[in-house]
Structure 1
């Protein structure tokens, strides 16, 4: 089982959008039984809440389910339980690295690190920008690049 965790600040906008999109992509490719996909936040301000209404609206437009998704704060255990931890911006990356001194088991990187066709390095937080279309565009590109990276590193035929 390949375990992927998406992380943003509060786990109500970007990371649940990425979780829902990546679930859809993996299912579309027929690999849903090979992956465990989750999301979390750096902070616990929104713990227990569903995705933000702007994220829900965007996912509804695309026909992607967010059923059963509720915000939670990342845990120390997550750092060893997941194979890939994917953050949305440089601050998330710095915050995550400050959680623990030794290196986590997971590979940790930003969602847009492997997207070569875009000039962006970070996924802006639509909670503040209000631009859920832009966030979705970047999440879509990042999730495709992530899926291709995982396919190149993992044997999905098992």
Structure 2
């Protein structure tokens, strides 16, 4: 069975997208679905390549049982557009950067992650970098909801069976 390849993307790949990667991995592991996925995260900018996620993101995630310290930031590569089935942007700015860089035949793979949580009535996962601890908690809440919605969508569309 071919794995579903998912890439989460924010700007620097040290707050939102590694949090989404960690939360999504924990979500699929808890549902015995980890075997069906390859999951990664990246940034549209190379500000923090090689760095671990922000310590505040790590702490907030760890408090919910999700470990991020093993992750390392990387920049989106041109080969990612072909390699991944789903490229999920955290906000409109990064969505625009991705769609501009993406070859036309792969643009359909790029979506805003929060499209999978329409009940939240919010399009973007806000960047918590310059805010307080609450911002990291909010990011966790949003990516948890979107992770559940994403899996529900894959199952509903027949792309994933459990």
TM-score, normalised to structure 2, is 0.91
Cα distance in 2 for residues equivalent to 1:88 and 1:146:
14
* 1:36-75 Cα shifts (integer Å, max 9, x gaps): 0000000011000000011101111011122431000000
Corresponding residue number in structure 1 for 2:10? 8
- Distance (whole Å) between structure 2 residues aligned to residue 111 and residue 33 of structure 1: 21
Structure 1's consecutive aligned runs of 4 or more residues displaced over 4 angstroms after TM superposition are none
Show the 5 A alignment for 1:140-151: 140-151=144-155
Instruction: Return closer, same or farther for 1:42/1:116 CA change in 2, 3 Å cut-off.
Output: same
Shift of 1:103: 3.1
- The gaps in structure 1 that reach 5 residues or longer are none
Runs of 5+ in structure 2 lacking a partner?
none
Determine the structure 1 residue equivalent to 2:143: 139
* Greater alpha carbon shift after TM alignment, 66-75 vs 36-45: 66-75
1:83 to 76, 82, 85: 85
Matched length: 157
Aligned residues: CA RMSD:
1.4
Match for 1:65 among 67, 72, 78?
A: 67
